[in-house]
Amino acid sequence: MGATVSTPWWIEEAGAPAAAASLARDVETDVVVVGGGYVGLWTALTLRRRDPDRRVVLVEAERCGHGPSGRNGGFLHGYWSMLPWLRDRLGADDALLLARAGDAIVPAVRELGDDVWLRECGLLEVAATAAQARALDRAVAAARELGVPDEATPLSADAVARRCASPVFGRGVLFRDGATVQPARLAVALRRHALEAGVELYEGTPATRVSEGGVETPGGLVRARDVVLATNAALARWRPLARRLAEFSSYVVLTEPAPGALDELGWTGGEAIADGRMFLHYFRTTNDGRVLMGSAGGTRAHAERGLRRLLPTLGDVRIERDWGGPIDVSADRLPNVGSRGRIHYAAGFTGNGVGPSWLAAQALASLALDADDEWSRLPLVNRRVRALPPEPLKSLGGRVVRASVLALEQADEEGRRAPLAARAGALLPRLTGTRLGLR
Ligand SMILES: Cc1cc2nc3c(=O)[nH]c(=O)nc-3n(C[C@H](O)[C@H](O)[C@H](O)COP(=O)(O)OP(=O)(O)OC[C@H]3O[C@@H](n4cnc5c(N)ncnc54)[C@H](O)[C@@H]3O)c2cc1C
């Protein structure tokens, strides 16, 4: 995973609430949630809201929201931008069902009522090469074919330039379903709502052993009928999910405030923007006129190169911060939500977890409450996924695929043919029947 170089600016900006105490005795509860990121916090909150008599304990190894949930790019959306992929993977009906279910994500954040810098300005995907343009065309075509053309509006190069006038952008697609948040503020807000709803929270409390019936921590046992595992990429090392998840990384750089440069670009509408790469660049502005550029390429160098290439008019605006974090990649890029006995889990968000963590939490709450409802029947729940190879092939294969796809995309941007080794490496997922690294 990419090293974490500096404290995420988001976490400083949000300010940390006083830490909750660590667990120092045995406790008994109905549900224990392990992990205080978005998935754990939304799940704990949802459980208490749906059944106020249900006792819920949440144990977090460090501080809630200090993992990826407090350090991400803040792109908040569901699945409309993945429609071609969903149709291919789940079929037309379930693709639409899942994408429509995601329409409730942004309202759920809005309804928290906290100032989490929610800006509902859409998700703009732009093509920086011809191959990327073809990928965008597939999104537009799928939306048309499935009868939902308004979910993916094609934009000409001129229309893109009116939103952000980078000389390297060609045409684009605007997804109505797209917002940005200050991610650490969202985590702080969820933590507060969870506490107010009666969730019993222990921070500095790692679960060291998990079994049906509860978890062990250094300070005591938590006995519970239901266990919810919400520990993100750590679940790639949990045996039942080890063949379904791999750990990659994502990395961001954050510039100094440069509101004048943003005015010059005309990028004042707050759009969340991504290019059409597989290991995409994602970029957005902040309330004080900074630019955050993230790269699924997983290093500072990729993120900085993306910033300089995609937004050259920013000139030599200084990078003030950079940080990274783990990404839980699933074999088919969709999260795995399910149960093994009374242990429930959700992981595999593959870089799109800010919004979908809400969906997963609805499903996890339903599973823990034995509710047979729209959430427990979401197509993400208990689905079959082709297994990844066992270790060490999984890590090795993941590194080869990632390096190969990055080399292909780099060559594409530079208008040259990629080396044979990269072309061969990028074929690995097709050969093994997984979808890792495929667009
Ligand atoms: C740099 C970066 C940028 C990203 N940008 C975006 C974006 O713009 N949009 C988007 O949708 N997604 C983005 N993502 C992904 C997104 O952040 C995650 O999918 C999401 O935050 C996952 O939430 P989570 O609750 O599953 O995990 P986490 O936030 O990782 O929370 C898991 C928690 O579990 C705790 N934990 C781990 N092990 C234990 C244990 N044994 N006992 C107790 N606690 C434990 C950890 O300390 C952590 O707090 C990004 C990720 C990174 C790293």
Closest CA relative to residue 194, chosen from 361, 346, 335, 377: 361
Residue 248 in any domain: the answer is: no
Residue 311 in any domain: the answer is: yes
Residue 127 in any domain: the answer is: yes
Asked whether residue 191 falls in the same domain as residue 209, the answer is yes
Asked whether residue 131 falls in the same domain as residue 232, the answer is no
Residue 296 in any domain: the answer is: yes
Asked whether residue 262 falls in the same domain as residue 171, the answer is yes
Distance from Cα 11 to the centre of ligand 1, integer Å: 13
pLDDT value at 1 more than 60:
no
Residue 251 in any domain: the answer is: no
CA distances from 366 to 15, 50, 107, 228, 383 (A): 32, 9, 20, 11, 16
CA distances from 328 to 238, 242, 340, 399 (A): 12, 11, 19, 14
Distance from Cα 186 to the centre of ligand 1, integer Å: 13
Nearest atom (ligand 1) to Cα of 39? 25
pLDDT tens-place string over residues 368-422: 999 999 999 999 999 988 888 888 877 877 787 778 777 777 877 788 787 777 7
Residue 108 in any domain: the answer is: no
Asked whether residue 13 falls in the same domain as residue 157, the answer is no
Nearest atom (ligand 1) to Cα of 356? 11
Closest CA relative to residue 407, chosen from 398, 396, 390, 420: 420
Residue 435: the pLDDT is 57
Ligand 1 pocket, Cβ-based, cut-off 6 angstroms: 34-40, 59-62, 66-69, 71-75, 206-207, 230-232, 234, 250-252, 282, 294, 324-325, 327, 349, 351-355, 357
Look at ligand 1, atom 53, and give the residue with the nearest C-alpha: 325
- Sheet hosting strand 272-275, strand order edge to edge: 153-155, 172-175, 123-126, 272-275, 281-285, 291-295, 245-255, 319-330
Residue at 148: amino acid letter: V
Cα separation, 388 vs 234, in Å, equals 16
Nearest atom (ligand 1) to Cα of 40? 25
pLDDT tens-place string over residues 206-256: 999 999 999 999 999 999 999 999 999 999 999 999 999 999 999 999 999
Cα separation, 223 vs 47, in Å, equals 17
Residue 438: the pLDDT is 42
Residue 83 in any domain: the answer is: no
pLDDT value at 431 more than 70:
no
Distance from Cα 354 to the centre of ligand 1, integer Å: 9
Q: Which of 231, 271, 344 to mutate to test the pocket of ligand 1 (most atoms within 8 A of CB)?
A: 231
Asked whether residue 237 falls in the same domain as residue 278, the answer is no
Residue 206 in any domain: the answer is: yes
Asked whether residue 418 falls in the same domain as residue 287, the answer is no
The answer to whether the CB of 30 falls within 8 A of the CB of 54 is yes
pLDDT value at 434 more than 70:
no
Cα separation, 1 vs 95, in Å, equals 31
Asked whether residue 13 falls in the same domain as residue 67, the answer is yes
Look at ligand 1, atom 4, and give the residue with the nearest C-alpha: 72
Asked whether residue 63 falls in the same domain as residue 17, the answer is yes
Q: Which of 250, 292, 304 to mutate to test the pocket of ligand 1 (most atoms within 8 A of CB)?
A: 250
Asked whether residue 233 falls in the same domain as residue 269, the answer is no
**In sequence order, what DSSP letters do the residues of 280-322 get, joined into one string?**
-EEEEE-TTS-EEEEETT-SHHHHHHHHHHH-GGGTTPPEEEE
Distance from Cα 149 to the centre of ligand 1, integer Å: 32
Q: Which of 5, 42, 349, 380 to mutate to test the pocket of ligand 1 (most atoms within 8 A of CB)?
A: 349
Distance from Cα 46 to the centre of ligand 1, integer Å: 18
Q: How many structural domains is the chain composed of?
A: 3
**In sequence order, what DSSP letters do the residues of 380-398 get, joined into one string?**
TBT---PPPPPTTHHHHHH
Distance from Cα 190 to the centre of ligand 1, integer Å: 14
Asked whether residue 230 falls in the same domain as residue 140, the answer is no
pLDDT tens-place string over residues 149-189: 999 999 999 999 999 999 999 999 999 999 999 999 999 99
Asked whether residue 218 falls in the same domain as residue 199, the answer is yes
pLDDT tens-place string over residues 258-301: 999 999 999 999 999 999 887 789 999 999 999 999 998 878 99
- Residue indicated by tokens 């308004």: 150
The answer to whether the CB of 359 falls within 8 A of the CB of 102 is yes
Residue 439: the pLDDT is 40
Asked whether residue 235 falls in the same domain as residue 263, the answer is no
Distance from Cα 357 to the centre of ligand 1, integer Å: 9
Check which CATH number belongs to the domain holding 27 and give it. Answer: 3.50.50.60
Nearest atom (ligand 1) to Cα of 350? 19
**In sequence order, what DSSP letters do the residues of 346-415 get, joined into one string?**
EE--TT--TTHHHHHHHHHHHHHTT--STTTTSTTBT---PPPPPTTHHHHHHHHHHHHHHHHHHHHHTT
Distance from Cα 37 to the centre of ligand 1, integer Å: 6
pLDDT value at 82 more than 60:
yes
Check which CATH number belongs to the domain holding 147 and give it. Answer: 3.30.9.10
pLDDT tens-place string over residues 248-257: 999 999 999 9
The answer to whether the CB of 11 falls within 8 A of the CB of 254 is no
Distance from Cα 346 to the centre of ligand 1, integer Å: 11
pLDDT value at 104 more than 70:
yes
Residue 436: the pLDDT is 55
Distance from Cα 129 to the centre of ligand 1, integer Å: 31
Domain of residue 404: give its range.
Answer: 393-432
Nearest atom (ligand 1) to Cα of 251? 1
Cα separation, 276 vs 435, in Å, equals 17
Structure tokens at 272: 């969340």
pLDDT tens-place string over residues 22-41: 999 999 999 999 999 999 99
